[in-house]
Amino acid sequence: MPDAIELDGVGLTYGAAGAARRVEALCDVAFTVGEGQFVSIIGPSGCGKSTLLKIVADLLPPTSGRVAVFGGDAHAARARRAFGFVFQTPLLFPWRTALDNVALMLEVQGLGRRERRDRAREYLALVGLSGFEQHRPGELSGGMQQRVSIARALSFDPRILLMDEPFGALDAITRDRMGFELLRIWQRARKTVLFVTHSITEAVLLSDTVITFTPRPGRVRAVHPIGLPRPRTQEMRLSPEFIDYSRVLFKELEGEPPREDVA
């Protein structure tokens, strides 16, 4: 069975060939994501992490290299609606209720009103927002708005969930709570997740694998399998194993070579 996502030599340079100002954002990026895996990408600001998600989702064409999604090309996968995308901010329509925001993609797909609203209720329940269907975004907290965004991304049952720093704008307590909420949702929905974050502890807590990137142009520096048992718990973050994974990633991202790879 093919991997959910395969990147082979992917690069992207902004600016036309011969232009005075060209920016190489990504260079020779290669890794795979197995179906049902939770994989995080972490690296310094400006290293092309968000750009890479857009390339995987066929929202941005690479300058070089190849992206395969379940063995086919990314364009065909997007046409099949294989991707759900969760952005850094929820991007909800303020005049629509939570229910109608979640139902938006189903409306675009032409589903009948009753079916799309039933499905929207189902996914709001999945993210823990039953009872808030008629609330507008301005009546919801930041964490609740992001849960609406996750419900919307899941509503049309994509096989892959692409998440671009979805909790970055939240306060530390809400961000921590949302991490465990996401794990609960992932355990139930079992989507393939490619997750961009700047938080080392968040990456270790959530992931099967953490991929570190170099500064721009972004390249894969290392691939770290995370061998912590599931389900992940609050207490696990105090364990020597969790601290060791975090230490290795911190030293690597600070520019020091890790003493050993994480297996």
**108 within some domain:** yes
Tell whether the model's pLDDT for residue 261 goes beyond 50. no
In whole angstroms, what is the distance from residue 46 CA to residue 170 CA? 20
**205 within some domain:** yes
pTM for the model stands at: 0.91
pLDDT digits (tens, 9 = 90+) for 141-187: 999 999 999 999 999 999 999 999 999 888 888 888 889 999 999 99
**175 within some domain:** yes
Residue 244 neighbours by CB distance under 10 Å: 14
In whole angstroms, what is the distance from residue 45 CA to residue 196 CA? 11
**22 within some domain:** no
pLDDT digits (tens, 9 = 90+) for 25-37: 999 999 999 999 9
Q: Which two tokens stand for residue 109?
A: 């797909």
* Contact assessment for residue 188 and residue 126, using Cβ atoms and an 8 Å cutoff: yes
**188 within some domain:** yes
* Contact assessment for residue 52 and residue 25, using Cβ atoms and an 8 Å cutoff: no
Phi, psi of 157 (to 5 degrees): 60, 55
pLDDT digits (tens, 9 = 90+) for 78-123: 999 999 999 988 999 999 999 999 999 899 888 899 999 999 999 9
**Count of domains for the chain:** 1
Domain that holds residue 248: 37-61+81-253
195: phi > 0 → left, psi -120 to 50 → alpha, else beta; which? beta
Decide which of 78 and 262 is more confident: 78
**220 within some domain:** yes
CATH code of 208's domain = 3.40.50.300
DSSP 7: E
**19 within some domain:** no
* Contact assessment for residue 97 and residue 145, using Cβ atoms and an 8 Å cutoff: no
**1 within some domain:** no
* Contact assessment for residue 148 and residue 124, using Cβ atoms and an 8 Å cutoff: yes
